[in-house]
Structures are given as structure tokens and as C-alpha cells.
Amino acid sequence: MTLEELNVFVTTQANVGMEAYYWWCTGLMIIIHVGFLMYEVGATRMQNAVSSGVKNLLAFAFMIPTFWLFGWWIYLAFPGGFVPIDLEGYGAPWNVSMGPMLSDQATGVFWAAFTLFACTTASIFSGAVIERIRISAFVFLAVVLGSVVWILAASWGWHPDGWLVTGWGFHDVAAAGCVHTVAGLFAFGVLLNLGPRIGKYNDDGSANDLEGHSLVLSFVGLLTLIVGFFGFLGACLIWAGSDFGGWVNIYGAPATLSSFAFNTLMGLAGGMIGAFWWSKGNPFWMMSGGLAGIFICAGGLDIWYPGFAFILGTIAGCVIIPANNWLHNTFKIDDCVGAVSIHGVCGILGMLCVGLFASGFPAAGDIPASNLTGQIVGAIVMALTGFVPGYVISYIMKMAGWLRVPDHVQKAGIDKAELGLQAYNQ
Amino acid sequence: MNTFPGESASWEGVDAYFTWAGSSGMLVLFTLVTACICLGVIIAAARHESETAENNK
């Protein structure tokens, strides 16, 4: 074998390996949706169990074509802000780049991975609004969130040329901001307009527990969701090939999958233990705490010391319950699964933690080092990018009568009234 | 850009065969049809919800 043949062989194997890696990460991310489906259906009362599942599946189905239509292009075109850069057609659905090309082994698998990131973002919002949002309204809002809003935030802060990155040194390798904070705050904005489920609050302002019909289903769903997140987090790293020394984070700085393994597991364990302690053994909060533990570590998943990730995870597990209670008591929202607290609050904390505990971490090329100011600016931008569209669009939909299931249909049960089905034979 | 089956019948110098999409017009048409399907189904679902809500009063 000549040197040239060897070079071709190595390059080919590296490209095929890269394709296969993101292919399987994408497959693993679909398990997130299995988990979300079980989680949300279990958290729903029996009379609405089917519609909750249908809603969740539709978010997945609609995200794929809409992310192909405009989501991927938004990510590529808007790193500078609101004015698109000239991509010479690349990323637009009518461009040949968005189809099978022998010379391009990267676009399809990266698009697929980002599409599943979008599906995950929409599913985070999904759980918060169960049992009283119209399915069509939910699908529309999910498309806005998954194929426009979060990916615009990703273009700003989760892209090597994003203005938050190049201008402020924003560091958020595993999407604590653009996925979790944006989705959590978008859900918060919608919840303010959507209102609580019938029977959630009494006239005197006190709240009732509207318990889901299967805690076990939610419990197993949450653990399944965590399995899927290994695909999500794995796809947050870039397989850069031999030219760049192997793995780099999404900003181009050296990173390893090992660091993700250490900190994902330690954050998960810390979150579960913290929430177990704070909730006095509630399995729903314990598993949610595990997720929150991962999310609070997500901003610096490539750089934390594992023991520190465990401590951060424990803090997240302890924070989510009082944060959820405060949000409910203050704003009288009805966040059925604690999405605003788990994703929104812990996402913000994750970004701030990088500024507080990892300032000075060097970035690639001309990108400034991590710093507290950049993280604060990034957290504010991510929170507003999620909240403002969620609130404004859902407000317009509310005014148009296209947001909330009418009270009499809620009382009758959405499954029976709209779908003519029931989840279980009684 | 090529179509299959079309004039070209080998992979020599070809990067992709886009079945039924051998022109920019066809690519735009497929894009529009995809968008219309998504939007149309959301509108249809909203109408169904309104009708069932009315019928369940």
C-alpha cells in the first residue's frame, strides 16, 4: 500500500466512523421520546392519557420536516444575530446539500442529530402543558420552539461563530442554555397564558394535587429518558477527525468523551441523591433530580472535576422542588411535570456555574476565555429568547381562541371527546 | 444535479441522483408541498377540535 492509498484508507474510515457515530447517537436520542411519552402519559389522569401520548408523538413527527424546511438553515445562517449570512444556498431545503451527496458525509447526520435536539427541546415544553392545551395549538407552538426559537439561540451561543461565543466567550457545551433554558422559559411563557387545569386551584388560591394515573410509568419513563440523553450528550461533541486531534467541543476546543462520561454520571447521581433527600423519597422528584443534575453540569460538561459535578448535581436535586413550589405559588401556573424548574432554572444555574467556577478556561482560536460576564449575558439572552416568543405567541393564540381546550371538554376527558378513545378498558 | 432514470446511467462523475427532482423548480415544488402538508394538517386538526368541542356541549 502506498502512502497515498493509506491516506485515502484512513480518511475514508474516519468519515465512515463519523457518520456511524452520529447515526447511532440520533437513534439513541429517539429513546428520549420513548421516555418523555411514558413520563407524560403516566403524569396524566386516565381520561387524558391517549391525547397526551398523541401530542408527544406529533411533536416528534412535525419537528422532522420543519427542521428540514427551515431549522437547519436558521442554525447556519444566524450566528451574527438577526441578519442572515450568505450561505450561497447551503442548508436551504431546495439546495442539493440537503439531500444525498456522495461528497458530503457530514450534513445528513449532523442535520439528523440537530433534528433530534429540536425534538427533545419541544418535548421538554410538552410535559408542562398536558391535559388542557389543544393538540393543534401545541403542535404549532412546538414547531415554533423546536424549529425556530431554540435553534436561533443555538446559532448565537452553541456555534463556533455565534456572537455570544466570539464576542463574550460564552461556554455551554451541552446546551444548558439553548435547549434547557430556552425550552423551560418558553414553557413558562405559554403556561402564563394557558392557565391551569380545571380543578388545580381553588377559589381561595390553594392548590389541589391532580395526580397522574401511573407513577410507575412516569418513573420508568424518566429513567428511559436518561438513557436517551447519552445519545444527546454524545452528539454534542464534534468528531473532528485526525486533522484536529480527534474530539473537539462544539466551539472547536479540545475535549473528550471521557469527560462527558465522568460528569454526566456524577451529575446524574448527585441530582438523584439530592432530590431523594429533599423530597423524602418521592420517586418522581428523585428521577427528575437526576435529570436536573445533568443539566446543571451541562454548561461545563467537558471541564468539571467529577467530584464537583456530583456536588453541582446534588445542589440541582435540592433546588428543583422549592423552585417549582415558588413558581406555582407566585404565578399560579400549573406545570404538571416541573419542566420550568428542572430545565429552566437548572439550565440557568448551569450557565452561571461555568462563569463562577470555570472562568479563564481557554477556548479555541480567537474566542475569548470563559468568564462570568459572558455567562451572565448568555443566560439572560437564552432566558429571554425562550420566554418572549413563548409568551407573545401564546397570548395571540389565546386571544384568537386557539390555545386552551374548553372547560366542558376537559371535564369530559379529551380522549373521549376528541379522539373517541380511552387508554384502558374499565 | 441528475435524475434517475435519466440521461446518465453510471456513477462516473456523479455526486447524487435526485429521483424526480432534476430541476430547481422541482426542488422548490417538493419544499412547498412539504410545507403545505405540515400547515394543512395543523389547520385540519384545529377544525376537528373546534367541531368536537361544539358537539360535546
Average pLDDT on A202-219 reads 90
Q: Which three cell numbers stand for residue A94?
A: 431546495
Worst-scoring range by mean pLDDT, A194-198, A237-241, A251-255, B38-42?
A: A237-241
Is B41 part of a structural domain of the chain? yes
Is B10 part of a structural domain of the chain? no
| Alpha carbon A332 to chain centroid, angstroms | 24
Give the position of cell 438577526.
A82
Residue of A nearest to B47 (CA): A136
CA quadruple A135, A136, A138, A142: dihedral, nearest 10: 130
Task: Check the CA dihedral A126-A344-A162-A104 and report its sign.
Answer: negative
Cα(A397)–Cα(A385) distance, integer angstroms: 19
Is B2 part of a structural domain of the chain? no
Cα(A261)–Cα(A316) distance, integer angstroms: 19
Is B4 part of a structural domain of the chain? no
* A192 membership: H or E segment, kind and range: helix A182-194
| Chain A: residues touching B (Cβ < 8 Å) | 62, 65-66, 68-69, 93-96, 99-103, 134-137, 139-140, 143, 402, 405-406, 408-409, 412, 417-418
Other beta carbons within 10 Å of A13 = 10
| pLDDT, greater one: A261 or B10 | A261
Asked if the Cβ–Cβ distance from A96 to B16 is below 8 Å, we say yes
Grade residue A310 by pLDDT with cuts at 50, 70 and 90.
very high
CA quadruple A91, A92, A93, A97: dihedral, nearest 10: -40
- Contact B45/A at CB under 8 A: yes
Q: Which one-letter DSSP state was computed for residue A97?
A: G
Residue A95 with chain B: CB contacts under 8 Å: 27
Asked if the Cβ–Cβ distance from A405 to B49 is below 8 Å, we say yes
Is B53 part of a structural domain of the chain? yes
Other beta carbons within 10 Å of A18 = 18
Which alpha helices (DSSP H) does B1-57 contain, by range?
Answer: 24-55
Is B6 part of a structural domain of the chain? no
Phi then psi dihedrals of residue B17, to 5 deg: -110, 115
Residue A99 with chain B: CB contacts under 8 Å: 16, 18, 21
State residue B6's pLDDT score. 54
Q: What percent of chain A has pLDDT over 90?
A: 83
Residue B38 with chain A: CB contacts under 8 Å: 62, 65-66, 69, 143
Cα(A34)–Cα(A423) distance, integer angstroms: 17
CA-based nearest residue to A180, from A374, A341, A38: A341
pLDDT(A241) > 70: no
Number of domains in chain B: 1
- Contact B37/A at CB under 8 A: yes
pLDDT(A240) > 80: no
| Amino acid found at A153 | A
Provide DSSP, A207-254. Answer: B-----S-HHHHHHHHHHHHHHHHHHHHTTSEE--GGGTSEE-TTS-B
State residue A243's pLDDT score. 62
CA atoms within 13 A on the CB side of A284: 18
Residue A412 with chain B: CB contacts under 8 Å: 56
CA distances from A64 to A22, A53, A338, A386 (A): 16, 18, 26, 20
pLDDT in tens, B29-47: 999 999 999 999 999 999 9
pLDDT in tens, A271-308: 999 999 999 999 889 999 999 999 999 999 999 999 99
Cα(A321)–Cα(A231) distance, integer angstroms: 27
A383-413 as b/e: b if 16+ CB within 10 A = bebbbebbbebbeebbeeebbbbbeebbebb
Cα(A77)–Cα(A17) distance, integer angstroms: 28
pLDDT(A353) > 70: yes
Mean pLDDT of chain A: 94
Residue of B nearest to A103 (CA): B15
- Contact B31/A at CB under 8 A: yes
Residue A94 with chain B: CB contacts under 8 Å: 24, 27-28, 30-31
Cα(B56)–Cα(B53) distance, integer angstroms: 5
CA quadruple A406, A411, A414, A417: dihedral, nearest 10: -90
Task: Give the A:B interface size as CB pairs under 8 Å.
Answer: 70
Provide DSSP, A294-353. Answer: HHHHHTTTTT--HHHHHHHHHHHHHHHHHHHHHHHHHH----TT-HIIIIIIHHHHHHHH
pLDDT in tens, A387-399: 999 999 999 999 9
Provide DSSP, A123-154. Answer: HHHHHHTTTTB-HHHHHHHHHHIIIIIHHHHH
State residue A242's pLDDT score. 61
Distance from CA of B34 to the nearest CA of A (A): 7
Average pLDDT on A348-377 reads 96
Asked if the Cβ–Cβ distance from B16 to A101 is below 8 Å, we say yes
Average pLDDT on A219-231 reads 93
Mean pLDDT of chain B: 81
Asked if the Cβ–Cβ distance from A408 to B34 is below 8 Å, we say no
Structural domain of B51: 23-57
Contacts 24+ apart (CB under 8 A), A76-80: A76/A155, A77/A155, A78/A152, A78/A155, A78/A156, A79/A155, A79/A156, A79/A159, A79/A161, A79/A162, A79/A163, A80/A161, A80/A163
pLDDT in tens, A58-114: 999 999 999 999 999 999 999 999 999 988 888 998 888 888 888 888 899 999 999
Is B57 part of a structural domain of the chain? yes
Residue A66 with chain B: CB contacts under 8 Å: 38
Q: Which residues contact A80 (CB under 8 A, 6 or more apart)?
A: A161, A163
State residue B7's pLDDT score. 60
Asked if the Cβ–Cβ distance from B53 to A66 is below 8 Å, we say no
What is the model's pTM? 0.95
Is B7 part of a structural domain of the chain? no
For residue B5, cis peptide bond before it (omega within 30 degrees of 0): yes
Asked if the Cβ–Cβ distance from A408 to B46 is below 8 Å, we say no
Q: Which three cell numbers stand for residue A401?
A: 381562541
Asked if the Cβ–Cβ distance from A69 to B31 is below 8 Å, we say yes
Angle at A37 (CA atoms; ends A133, B34), nearest 5 degrees: 70
Domains and CATH numbers, chain A: 12-419 (1.10.3430.10)
Q: SS3 of B2, please?
A: strand
pLDDT in tens, A162-184: 999 999 999 999 999 999 999 99
Grade residue A246 by pLDDT with cuts at 50, 70 and 90.
confident
B16-52 as b/e: b if 16+ CB within 10 A = bbbeebbeeeebeebbeeeeeebeeebeebbeebeeb
Grade residue A13 by pLDDT with cuts at 50, 70 and 90.
confident
Q: Which three cell numbers stand for residue A359?
A: 472562568
State residue A97's pLDDT score. 83
In chain B the first and final C-alpha atoms are separated, in Å, by 56
Distance from CA of A140 to the nearest CA of B (A): 7
Grade residue A115 by pLDDT with cuts at 50, 70 and 90.
very high
